[in-house]
Structure 1
Amino acid sequence: MSQQQAARSTTAGATDATAATPPGAGMAADIADQPEAFARLAETQSGAIADIAAEIARERPRFVMFTARGTSDHAALYAAYLTEIRLGIPAGLASPSAITVYGARPDLSEALVVGVSQSGGSPDIAEVLRVASESGARTLAVTNNPESPLAKQAGLNIDVSAGHEKAVAATKTYTAELLALFMLIEGIRAGDGKLAGDEAAAVAALPELARTVLADETPVQLAARYRFAERLVTTGRGYAYPTARETALKLMETSYLSALSFSGADLLHGPLAMADPDIPVLAIVGDGPGGNAMRDVIGRLGERRADVVSIGASDVEGAPIRIPVPAVDERLAPMLDILPLQRLALALALNRGENPDAPRGLRKVTETL
């Protein structure tokens, strides 16, 4: 066989292989693997996370700064809420460009700087950790790749053990990051790195709860309803706000839908004016303080006759449609609330004739400076 014939044969084989894989099969497999990913993380990494948490607890940082991009930025936002609420330590999200583009060298002594990245391959996140270490900060990487540049740059490293992700859009790596950060921060709070009995039991229950959530077909039904939507709004407060942001990102990158995300409080400060029956609103409304704060927001949206879908364990007045999720501690709810919304993004993309496994113009590892 000539080189030209071999090239044609190889190309044809690759094309046949691609054609044999249905659109969205990779993302569907990643979503379905999340119950096992929860179990795998708890089983294989709980000891290592507890050791890191205990070490950090002994040092007691005065400030915690998280640095991340994309989906991991939403996991970092969740961790910032958890840090301030549970540890009483000020926390924030870094602007990597302040360091990488403008050359800033902030004083991060006595701080814990945490880089969160599925791939650990973006140079700007690693550079933030390098600069932070030089200024005297303790650095920690939370990644799905313990051999990545970010993990090697950090003084400490947590492997979220999500396994290989088939689709470009992150799903199981996101929820694994959430769980790893929960275990870390609650371990720091405990002092010895170990979860309290009720928290350990809640983590052990996550896989079965996740299977229950993933078995519900409401997201698929909603995808048909919103197939021709041009815009969509997501909203939540507290621990649910990162879920709202992650949902908007998933819809944008898989369905190319213009999705805007607001905290419930910010929604009332102006964006509420755009609400009308033609713009669907996905509202994450749990049973804790954040969910209670959202109920007035839902009422205001109802006054605008907005098309509101709530995601939560109980019905909410003003939201005629609900995506059901189990009632769990508000700290753990983001790990379950996002699951049906990932399925909605997948189903909506397929309904619109797109392939969510390979969004146009995107790659699995995005390198920025």
Structure 2
Amino acid sequence: MRAEIDQQPAVLQSLLHRRTIIDGISREIQRRDVRFVLLAARGSSDHAALYAKYLVETVLGLPCGLASMSSLTGYQASSSMTGVLWIAISQSGGSPDLIEATSAAQAAGAVTLAVTNAPTSDLARSAELHLDLGAGEEQSVAATKTYTAEILALWLLVNSWAGRQNPVAAGIPDVVARAGDVDISEVADRYRYAGRILTVGRGYSYPTACEAALKLMETCHVAASAFSGADLLHGPVAHVDPTVSVVVISPGGVGGRLLRPVLEVVADRGAEVCVVGDPDLGAGIATPCIAEELTPLVQIVPLQRLALELALARGLDPDRPRGLTKVTRTH
């Protein structure tokens, strides 16, 4: 896991070198009458899909949803998907429900795109279009480099589709490398024996909160829960007390502004609070500055390292979490 965290800048650089391939995919999408986007994924890839949902809605102005695959695979629901772009995201491309749902979406008239790290996988073959992450084999069960590769691939695709020329792309690997050097030792010491952790985000940092909670659950066996800051205040905040550790992930910009009331509430309830991102919001983990929509690429890196260090401090093997395998086959 440590090696694969460190490989992320190189993986992202390699992906940037294949922008012409991504531009070709976007041109094919532009040629179709796409009016709606559906995203299908599981696990870490589902958090990348949630990120893409924000991108599609804010950059492209298209309605976008997260697909309920069991509606197609279990309940055998049928509907017209003409005008729909179906994007299936999976590092392995091996989950049967994702493959079956993608085939069903294509049969219903959708344009289907698979985003995988496995170009010869069944999912890649089942979709009309395929975007290969090219991240190399990921041996640790906990996804790190494939997750950030998915984030960047989806950002590049949406940028190309929107016709945006974004010069910041060239500097992304360097910013991610600097995020990997951020000192997390003090936070790791504070959270070494934490029994309950809440991760909280808003807007572009909400997918990061979800992914961070998953990493903590997978590697450390911590009871971690992720919330949108708005949803936290609608009831779950009753769960917050001095025995709970709260990681607030601020993307700056709009999302950071919307998180300020959440910080005030959890602090008033006596929780142990760590802010990731904006140092103006409090102590914690300050990450390198980048445009708000790209913060999920940067802010997850120290949180991956935090999950790794907490697992090792607890005598656990983060590469082989109990009861988990690299490819999860759901139906």
The TM-score range, normalised by the shorter chain, is: over 0.9
Q: Distance in 2 between matches of 1:215 and 1:329?
A: 19
**2:265 counterpart of 1:303:** no
Q: Distance in 2 between matches of 1:327 and 1:226?
A: 25
Identity across aligned pairs (percent)?
49
Q: Distance in 1 between matches of 2:229 and 2:31?
A: 36
**2:265 counterpart of 1:262:** no
Q: Distance in 1 between matches of 2:188 and 2:276?
A: 15
Matched ranges for 1:310-349 at <5 A: 310-316=275-281, 319=282, 321-349=283-311
User: Which of 256, 259, 275 pairs up with 1:294?
Assistant: 259
Number of positions where the alignment pairs a residue of Structure 1 with one of Structure 2: 331
Matched ranges for 1:139-158 at <5 A: 139-158=112-131
Q: Classify the secondary structure of the residue corresponding to 2:153.
A: helix
**2:7 counterpart of 1:33:** yes
Q: Distance in 2 between matches of 1:216 and 1:266?
A: 29
Q: Classify the secondary structure of the residue corresponding to 1:332.
A: helix
Q: Distance in 2 between matches of 1:149 and 1:203?
A: 31
- Runs (4 or more) in structure 1 with deviation over 2 Å come to none
Contact 2:82 2:110 in 1 (8 A): yes
Deviation (angstroms), 1:250: 0.3
Matched ranges for 1:77-226 at <5 A: 77-190=50-163, 195-196=164-165, 199=166, 201-218=167-184, 220-226=185-191
Contact 2:246 2:272 in 1 (8 A): yes
**2:37 counterpart of 1:64:** yes
> What are structure 2's unaligned runs of at least 5 residues?
none
- Which structure has the larger Rg? 1
User: Which of 204, 208, 213 pairs up with 1:239?
Assistant: 204
The AA in structure 1 aligned to 2:168 is A
Q: Distance in 2 between matches of 1:298 and 1:167?
A: 34
Per-residue CA deviation, residues 317-343 of structure 1 (Å, 9 max, x unaligned), is xx4x22011121111110000000000
The AA in structure 2 aligned to 1:174 is Y
The AA in structure 2 aligned to 1:32 is D
The AA in structure 1 aligned to 2:32 is E
Q: Distance in 1 between matches of 2:144 and 2:229?
A: 24
The AA in structure 2 aligned to 1:202 is V
Per-residue CA deviation, residues 58-105 of structure 1 (Å, 9 max, x unaligned), is 324111000000000000010011001111110011111111111112
Q: Classify the secondary structure of the residue corresponding to 1:127.
A: helix
The AA in structure 2 aligned to 1:272 is V
Q: Distance in 1 between matches of 2:294 and 2:219?
A: 26
Contact 1:210 1:336 in 2 (8 A): yes
TM-score (norm 1): 0.88
Per-residue CA deviation, residues 239-284 of structure 1 (Å, 9 max, x unaligned), is 1100000000000010010001100000000111121222111111
User: Which of 192, 216, 230 pairs up with 1:227?
Assistant: 192
> What are structure 1's unaligned runs of at least 5 residues?
1-26
Per-residue CA deviation, residues 265-319 of structure 1 (Å, 9 max, x unaligned), is 0000011112122211111112211111011111111111211111114321xx4
Q: Distance in 2 between matches of 1:232 and 1:131?
A: 39
Q: Distance in 1 between matches of 2:214 and 2:173?
A: 24
The AA in structure 2 aligned to 1:360 is R
The AA in structure 2 aligned to 1:364 is K
Q: Classify the secondary structure of the residue corresponding to 1:92.
A: strand
- Two-structure CA RMSD over aligned residues (Å): 1.0
Contact 1:313 1:326 in 2 (8 A): no
TM-score (norm 2): 0.98
